[in-house]
Structure 1
Amino acid sequence: MSTDAVLYDHPGPRARVRNRILTVVFGVALLALLYWVYLRFDTKGQWAAALWKPFTMASTWTDYIVPGLINTLKAAAVAMVLSLVFGLVFAVGRLSEHRWVRIPAGAVVEFFRAVPLLLLMFFIFYGVPFLTQSPMPVFWAVVAGLTLYNGSVLAEAFRAGIRSVPSGQSEAGYAIGLRKGQVMHAILLPQAARAMLPVIVSQLVVLVKDTALGYIIAYPELLQLGVNNLSANYGNVVQAAIVVAIIFIVVNTALTWVAGWLGRRTRRTGRHTGPTPVATGEQPDMGFGEGIGVTEPQG
C-alpha cells in the first residue's frame, strides 16, 4: 500500500465540486480585498507617480536597494551555514548518552530558543564590548544572533528527524561493526536531513526575513537602506516598503525552489540502488564467509 493512500484520500465527485466552489469564492474574496486596498491607497494618493518615480532612477538601486540586498544576503548566507552546523552539533549533543553532554546541550538550546531574537542581537551588540573591551562589528552581531536562535530551532528539528528514523537502521549499523559516530554520520543524519528538509527550509526562510531585525542595531541591510534611508530622502515610506517586501518574496521563493529541487534530486539519488541480486541472479556477499546456507541459483 502506498503512503499516499494512507495519508490522503482522493476526493470524490461531490468533494471536487465543493473544492472548486470554495476556490472560486476564496479567489473572488481575495480580489475584492486587493481592490479595496487599492482604493484606500488611491484615496490617500499613494499611487501618485511622484512617489514611485525614485524607483525608476538608477541611483536608487545602486545607492540603496542593491547594497542593502547584498548585505542581507551576506548575513543570511553566513548565518545559514553556522546555524546548520550549530543545529547538527547540539542535536547530536542532546542525543548523547552522557549526561554531562546532554544536559548542557539541552540548556543551551532551550535558552536561545526562549530569548527573542531582537533582544539577542541587541545584547550581543551592546553587551559583548563590556566583556571584551572592544567594539562588536555590527555584521557579526547580526550573524551571531541569527545563528544562536535559528541554530537552536534547527537543533530540535534535527533531533526530531534523527529520532524518527526506525531503530532498526541503527541496529543494523551496529550489527555490521559500525561505531556510534559512524552510525550517526552515515545512517541517521542523512535520513534525518531528508525527512526534515521542509522544516529546515522553512526555518532558513525565516532566517532570511529575520535579517531585517538588524535594523535595531543599524546594520545596513535591505530594510535599513531600502526603506528607512530611501524614504528619508524621498518621503515614500509605503512605496519603499512595498518594493522591499516584493524583493523579500522573490528571494524566499527562490530559496524554496532551490530547496525543493535539492529535495527531489536527493530522493532520486536515494532511490537509485543499482542492480539487485534478484535482477542479476547473484547472491549478496554479506561478509560472513562463503557457502554458509547459500545455494547457487540453478539455471
Structure 2
Amino acid sequence: MSGSVLYDVPGPRAIARNRIIGVITILVVVAVIAFFIWRLIATGQFSAQKWIGFTYTRIWEQIAMATVRTVAAFAAAAVGALALGFILAIGRLSDHAWVRWPVTVVTEFLRAVPVLVMMFLLYYGLPVMGVEIPSYWAVVIALVAYNGSVLAEVIRAGVESLPRGQSEAGYSIGLRKAGVMQLVLLPQAIRAMMPVIISQLVVTLKDTALGFIITYEELLLLAKQLGAATTIGRPIVQMTMVVAVIYIGMCLLLSLVARMAEKRMSRSPKVQGAARHLDVNPRTHDGGTDTELIAQQRL
C-alpha cells in the first residue's frame, strides 16, 4: 500500500442511506420554506397596502443613506481588522518571547470580549470618564479589535501550517526572517486561508448591524424605525425583507471582489518571482529532518 486509507468508499447500502437522508433533508427544508411563505400570504404581508411605503422616494433615499453608513463602517473596520490581524500575527510568530507573549495576551483578550460589550464600553463607558466618542467610531473600533484578533489567529495558523521546507529554502538563499515571511510564507498562507479570511470579513459586515443598539444609523436601525411607522402601515416584515436582500447582495459582492483579488494575487509578479527562486522538492512536505531541498537563486 502506498499510504493509509483515511476514507472508505461507501457501499450500496450506505449510498442508499445517504440518498434517503438527503431527500428527507431537502423535503424538510422545502416544507419549512413553504410554511413560512404560506403564513406571509395568509397574514397579508404581500398585499399592496403593506408595501405602499416603498412607493415613496424618501423611503428609498433613507435606505440608500443607511446602506452607505453600513458600508462606511464595514470598509473602515475591514481595513483596520486586516492591518491589526497582520500586526498581531507577526507578533505571535516572533522569535522573541518579550514580543510574543504580550501580543498573545492582547490577542486572546480581544477575542474573548464580545463585540457588543466593546461597543457598550466605548459608547457608554468612556463618557463616564470624560471621553466622548461618536457611535460610528465605537462600531468601527469594536469591530477592528475583535475581527483583527480573529484574523491574527487565521493568518498565524496559515503560516504555521506550511511545510518547514518552505522557510528553510528561503533561509538557504540568504533571506532573513522578514524576507522569508514577506516573500515566501505570507503569500502562501494568505492564499491558503483566503476562504476563512473572506468568511470573517462577511461576519464583520453583518456585525455592523449591532451598531443599532448604540444608535448608529445603519440599516437595521432604519428598518426598526420605519417598520414601526404607523403612517406607512408598520411594515416591519417588509423592511426586514428589504434589508435582508441588501445584506445578501453586499455579502455576495464582497465574495466576488475577494475572488478577483485572489486571482490577481496568484498572478502577482512578487509571488511568481518567489516561486521561481524557491523550488521545494515535494518530498520535503513531511517536515522531517532528512529534508531534501533544492534552492535556486537567480543571479
Q: Name the TM-score, length of structure 2 as normaliser.
A: 0.81
Q: 1:117 aligns with which of 115, 118, 143?
A: 115
Map 1:263-278 → 2, pairs under 5 A: 263-267=262-266
The answer for the alignment partner of 1:243 in structure 2 is 242
Instruction: Name stretches of at least 5 consecutive residues in structure 2 with no aligned partner.
Output: 277-294
Matched, 1:73 2:80: no
The answer for the alignment partner of 2:50 in structure 1 is 51
Q: Name the TM-score, length of structure 1 as normaliser.
A: 0.81
Number of residue-to-residue matches in the alignment: 272
Q: Let me know the Cα RMSD of the aligned residues.
A: 2.8
The offset of 1:261, in angstroms, is: 3.5
SS in 1 for 2:51: helix
> Which deviates the most, 215-224 or 133-142?
133-142
Q: Distance in 1 between matches of 2:245 and 2:6?
A: 35
Structure 2 CA distance for partners of 1:8 and 1:221, relative to 1, 3 Å: farther
Matched, 1:183 2:180: yes
AA in 2 matched with 1:178: L
Decide whether the 8 Å contact of 2:212 with 2:221 is kept in 1.
yes
The answer for the alignment partner of 1:228 in structure 2 is 224
Structure 2 CA distance for partners of 1:32 and 1:287, relative to 1, 3 Å: closer
AA in 1 matched with 2:73: A
Q: 1:144 aligns with which of 118, 141, 146?
A: 141
> Which deviates the most, 210-219 or 18-27?
18-27
Q: Distance in 2 between matches of 1:191 and 1:222?
A: 37
Q: Distance in 2 between matches of 1:159 and 1:180?
A: 15
The offset of 1:42, in angstroms, is: 3.1
The answer for the alignment partner of 1:96 in structure 2 is 94
The answer for the alignment partner of 1:209 in structure 2 is 206
AA in 1 matched with 2:82: L
Q: Distance in 1 between matches of 2:296 and 2:170?
A: 16
The answer for the alignment partner of 2:27 in structure 1 is 28
The answer for the alignment partner of 2:165 in structure 1 is 168
> Which deviates the most, 107-116 or 164-173?
164-173
Q: Distance in 1 between matches of 2:10 and 2:252?
A: 29
Q: Distance in 1 between matches of 2:96 and 2:248?
A: 44
Structure 2 CA distance for partners of 1:7 and 1:218, relative to 1, 3 Å: farther
Q: Distance in 2 between matches of 1:262 and 1:12?
A: 42
The offset of 1:239, in angstroms, is: 1.5
Q: Distance in 1 between matches of 2:272 and 2:95?
A: 32
1:213-250 alpha-carbon deviations (Å, 9 max, x no partner): 0011111111111x122113231112211211121111
1:180-238 alpha-carbon deviations (Å, 9 max, x no partner): 1111111111111011101100000000000000011111111111x122113231112
The answer for the alignment partner of 2:127 in structure 1 is 129
The answer for the alignment partner of 1:85 in structure 2 is 83
Matched, 1:197 2:186: no
Structure 2 CA distance for partners of 1:232 and 1:287, relative to 1, 3 Å: closer
AA in 1 matched with 2:79: V
The offset of 1:62, in angstroms, is: 0.5
Structure 2 CA distance for partners of 1:12 and 1:263, relative to 1, 3 Å: farther
The offset of 1:262, in angstroms, is: 3.1
Decide whether the 8 Å contact of 2:173 with 2:297 is kept in 1.
no
Structure 2 CA distance for partners of 1:134 and 1:115, relative to 1, 3 Å: closer
Structure 2 CA distance for partners of 1:9 and 1:170, relative to 1, 3 Å: same
Percent identity, please: 48
Q: Distance in 1 between matches of 2:206 and 2:298?
A: 51
Structure 2 CA distance for partners of 1:209 and 1:10, relative to 1, 3 Å: farther
